Amino acid sequence: MRIRKIDLYVFKEVLTPFLGGVVFFSFVFLLFQMLRLAEELIVNNAPFGLVMKLLWALVVNFLPLGLPVAFLVGVLMAFSRFSGDSEIVAMKAVGMGLPRISVPAFVLSIGVAILSLLLNLNWAPWSEISMRNTLMKIGNRKFASSINEGTFTSGFFNLLLYTEKSNNRAGKMEKVFLYDDRDPQHPMTVVAKTGELIRVQTGEDDLGGLVLQLQDGSLHQANQASPDYQKMDFSTYQVFFDIPDKTGKFSFKPRMYGMTELMQQIRDSGSSVDRLRELKTEFWRRIAVAITPILFVLLGIGFGTVRTRGARAGVMLVAFVTMGLYWQIQVSSIWIGERGQLPAWLAVQIPNLLVAAVGMFTFRRASW
């Protein structure tokens, strides 16, 4: 019963800073991301629903990186405190060696590894696509906000637009001039008394297209091949502009495929050796990243138990330095795998092999 209570105690002491680390690192990540996106969100008047959807996608996309960092911090903080407060000595007094004391940390690391695997296989790819689509929807709103009164706007769907007065929030304009030369042989000029931008929605926050509705004006069209000239008066004239949405115009990268799609891409890669290596490297990278929390137990205990009472403030520094080196080495290992210098499954394991080697060395030193 005494040993069981110690196990629960160690488990809780690792779990608490781990959860705190997840919240802290997620908040810091979102803070930097939102500062980067603040101008686009404010200028484009992004609705609350889209902003929350973007935040959720950003968090899920960050967690495959954040979970290992937070878990390493949890192990470091727990075992540095055990060491500094001589609690490890007390545990050894009841017959528990350091390998036995670390069992709860290994059990928790398995749970974190399973969650990390689920994130890497399907949730992170989904969040990558959701994030890009959401940013595309928010960016689509810039077409209305880019129209300034008294200014010729040339980037409006490749048309030249001028309005004497404009209300960007309502999307209404007065005294509108529109020049359309998408058909070089039949350029067209439209002059209207008033105009309005109408969003075409297929969902609560889905922007499928824009309709420019002009009232009380005239259409002037010339023919470059002949002296013919046409003029038509109208009470209402509408131009529809299609906006790419869920189909997207961005290219899919291997990290954006769910597990099923990734395996299908590997089977369909055919004779493209470079493409096959890239896909296989991505597959094994997800597996390699998922098992890092288990290896970080050795590293965290090894570094944590040799630290003194006054050195515990450096736990975050140790975690950041370790993760910085780890991800830098991983980038190099991915490059090696994608170019076929080593088999993909072996190349992406280089960071884990280094962590295991350093972790075993420090863990054995800590087993005093």
3-state SS of 115-157 is HHHHHHHHHHHHHHHHHHHHHHHHHHCHHHHCCCCCCCEEEEC
Helix axes 2-43, 124-140, angle to 10 degrees: 20
Residues 6+ apart with CB under 8 A from 11: 104, 105, 107, 108
User: In a 3-state reduction of DSSP, which class is residue 181?
Assistant: coil
Do 237 and 153 share a structural domain?
yes
Q: Is residue 71 helix, strand or coil?
A: helix
Which amino acid, residue 301?
A: I
Number of domains within the chain = 2
Compute the radius of gyration of the chain from its Cα atoms.
29
For the purposes of burial, counting CB atoms within 10 Å of the CB of 345, is it exposed (0-12), middle (13-18) or buried (19 or more)?
Answer: middle
State residue 343's pLDDT score. Answer: 93
Residue 43 makes CB contacts below 8 A (sequence gap 6+) with 142, 145
Q: For residue 269, what pLDDT is reported?
A: 73
Contacts of 332 (CB under 8 A, 6+ apart): 350
Do 229 and 165 lie in a common domain? yes
Same-domain check for residues 190 and 324 = no
Q: How far apart are CA 252 and CA 236, in angstroms?
A: 41
Backbone dihedral angles phi then psi of residue 308, each to the nearest 5 degrees: -90, 175
Note whether 274 and 349 are same-domain residues.
Answer: yes
Place of tokens 């997207």: 248
Q: Are residues 13 and 106 in the same domain?
A: yes
pLDDT digits 0-9 by tens, 53-109: 888 988 998 998 899 999 999 999 999 888 888 888 888 888 888 889 999 999 999
- Please tell me whether residues 129 and 264 are part of one structural domain: yes
Percent of the chain with pLDDT over 70: 84
Q: Identify the H or E element spanning 252.
A: none
Query: Are both 306 and 255 inside the same structural domain?
Result: yes
Say if residues 120 and 54 touch (Cβ distance below 8 Å).
Answer: no
Closest CA to 299 of 145, 75, 108, 112: 75
| 3-class state of residue 182 by DSSP | coil
* Residues 92 and 232 grouped into a single domain: no
Question: Distance between CA 96 and CA 100 in Å, rounded?
Answer: 6
Are residues 172 and 119 part of one domain? no
Q: How many CA atoms lie within 13 A of 192 on its CB side?
A: 26
| Spatial distance between the Cα atoms of 55 and 61, rounded to a whole number of angstroms | 10
Both 170 and 96 in one domain: the answer is no
pTM of the full structure: 0.72
Point out the residues of the chain with pLDDT beneath 50: 203-207, 245-250, 308-311
Measured distance CA(67)–CA(290) in Å, rounded: 10
Residue at a domain's end among 242, 268, 299: 242
Query: Would you state the pLDDT for residue 145?
Result: 64
pLDDT at 155: 65
How many helices (H) and strands (E) would you count in the chain?
13, 6
Q: Which pLDDT belongs to residue 246?
A: 43
**Residues 255 and 126 placed together within one structural domain of the fold:** yes
The enclosing H or E element of 331 equals helix 315-338
Give the whole-angstrom CA distance, residue 171 versus residue 20: 45
Domain end call among 208, 242, 276: 242
Query: Of 204, 219, 242, which residue sits at a domain end?
Result: 242
Residue 15 CA to residue 78 CA, distance in Å, equals 9
Domain housing 200: 146-242
- CB crowding 31-67: b at 16 or more within 10 Å, else e: eebeeebeeebeebebeeebbebbbebbbbbbbbbbb
- Based on the fold, state whether residues 236 and 264 are members of the same structural domain: no
Calculate ∠ Cα 73-75-80, nearest 5°: 95
